[in-house]
Amino acid sequence: MHRLFRCHPPLPSGLSAHAAPSRPKRTPSAVVAVLVLTLACIAAALSGTARPALAASAPTELTLAVVTTPGSAQHVCAERFRQLLEERSRGAYRVVVHHSGTLGTETEILQQLQLGGVQLAIITLGVLDPFVPEVKVLDYPFLFRDAAEADRVLDGPTGRALLDALERVGLKGLHFSENGFRHLTNNVRPVRTVDDVRGLKVRVLESTLHRELWRALGANPTPMGWPIYAELQQGTIDGQENPLWVMAEYRMPEVQKHLSLTGHVYSAHADLANLAWFNGLPEADRALVMRCMADAAAYQRAYNREKDADYLRRLREAGMQVVDAPDLASFRARADALRQGPLFAEPRTREMLARVLAAVGR
C-alpha cells in the first residue's frame, strides 16, 4: 500500500489548526525553512515503498508471413528468426508468424508486403520474377551442381546484387534461405527421359520462367498457388514439382505415384522486409534484423539438408515409385533453349544471367 505523507509548517504558539491567523510577514530565513521542510516531505513520499515502478514499454509487434505449414522450410526459418530477434532485442520486438496461407498465396503476401500491411515474409524466389524479372536467373535449370555451390553464389556479391534489385519494388532483401532442389512427381507414368514428360499437366509456380521451362520440356504447365492437394486428388492436374520436404510434409504419396529425382532447379527462398519499414528503423535495429535473418537462414539450410535423406526414405516407404537416375542430359538439352529466348532478353536480366553463369563456370 502506498503511504501518503502530509507535511505542514508549525503553527504559531497559541493557535489551533482550525484558527484563521493573520498572515505573518515571512523573513527570508522562514521561507528557506518552509522550502527545506517541503522538499523533505517530497523526498519521504518518494522513498521506500512509496516509489512507483517505471512502466516497461510494450514490444513492437511485427508480422512475418509464410504460405506453408509448421514444419515446412519457410516456417522453420521464420520461427528461428522470431526466436533470435525477440531474444537479441531483449523483448523490444515481438514477431507474430502467420503460416498455412492465412494471409493468402505467396503472390498475395508479396502485395501486402509492398503495401506495408506485412513487415516480413519468406517467399519462394520464383514467385518474385513477375515483380523483378532478373531474379529468375537463379531458377535457371540445372544451374548449381550442389548446395555448396548455391551457398557460395547466393551468399556472395551476386546474391547480394539480386537482393538489392528488389528495392525497385519496395522490398528489402535480407537473405536467402532454402527451399531445395526441385524434383518431379506425377500420377500417370514413370519419368525416365524428357520424352516421358510430354503431355503431363504439371502444376508450376506462378512464375514466367517455371511456366516456360515446363512448356519447353513438353509438359502442359499450370501456374497455381499453394496448396494443391485437392487438385491432385481430383485429377485436375497430373503432377507437380517441388523439393523432397514438400512431398513428405504435404503427403504427396497419398495422391502421387511416381517420383523422378530430376533436381532440375535449385529453389531458394527470399527472406524479405518492407523497404520503407526497414529503412525507418534505427541503424542498430536494421543491423540486428539483418543478422538475425542471416543466422536463421543458415540454421534452416543445415536443418533442411540434414533431413533430405530421411524425406526420401519416408516417400519410398509410403509407396512412391522412385526413378533415382533419370536421363538428365535429355532434360538439359531441351532446357538450354531457354537461354536464347525472350525470357532473358531484357538487358538487366541478360546481364545478371551472364554474371550468375560466370560465377558457376558456365
User: What is the tens place of the pLDDT at every residue in 18-44?
Assistant: 333 333 344 444 433 433 334 444 343
Percent of the chain with pLDDT over 90: 79
Q: Do 68 and 126 touch, CB atoms closer than 8 A?
A: no
Distance from the Cα of residue 89 to its chain's centroid: 18
DSSP 8-class letter at 178: E
Could you tell me which residue, 148 or 23, shows the higher pLDDT?
Answer: 148
Give dist(CA 83, CA 87) in Å, integer.
Answer: 6
Q: Assess whether pLDDT exceeds 90 at residue 88.
A: yes
Could you tell me which residue, 21 or 132, shows the higher pLDDT?
Answer: 132
* CA-based nearest residue to 352, from 114, 163, 126: 163
What's the confidence (pLDDT) of residue 13? 35
What's the confidence (pLDDT) of residue 162? 96
List Cα–Cα distances, 125 to 129, 230, 255, 301, 352, in angstroms: 8, 24, 26, 15, 15
Q: Assess whether pLDDT exceeds 50 at residue 77.
A: yes
What's the confidence (pLDDT) of residue 328? 97
Paired sense of beta strands 171-186 and 93-98, if any: unpaired
Residue that the C-alpha cell 524479372 belongs to: 133
Instruction: Indicate the length of the chain as a whole number.
Output: 362
Q: Do 218 and 287 touch, CB atoms closer than 8 A?
A: no
One-letter amino acid at 147 equals A
Residue that the C-alpha cell 528468426 belongs to: 81
What's the farthest any 2 CA atoms get from each other in the chain?
117
Q: Assess whether pLDDT exceeds 90 at residue 213.
A: yes
Taking phi over 0 as left and psi of -120 to 50 as alpha, with beta for the rest, 8 belongs to: beta
- Give the orientation angle of helix 328-335 with respect to helix 208-216, to 10 degrees: 120
Q: Do 177 and 271 touch, CB atoms closer than 8 A?
A: yes
Model confidence pLDDT, tens digit, residues 241-293: 999 999 999 999 999 999 999 999 999 999 999 999 999 999 999 999 999 99
What's the confidence (pLDDT) of residue 340? 86
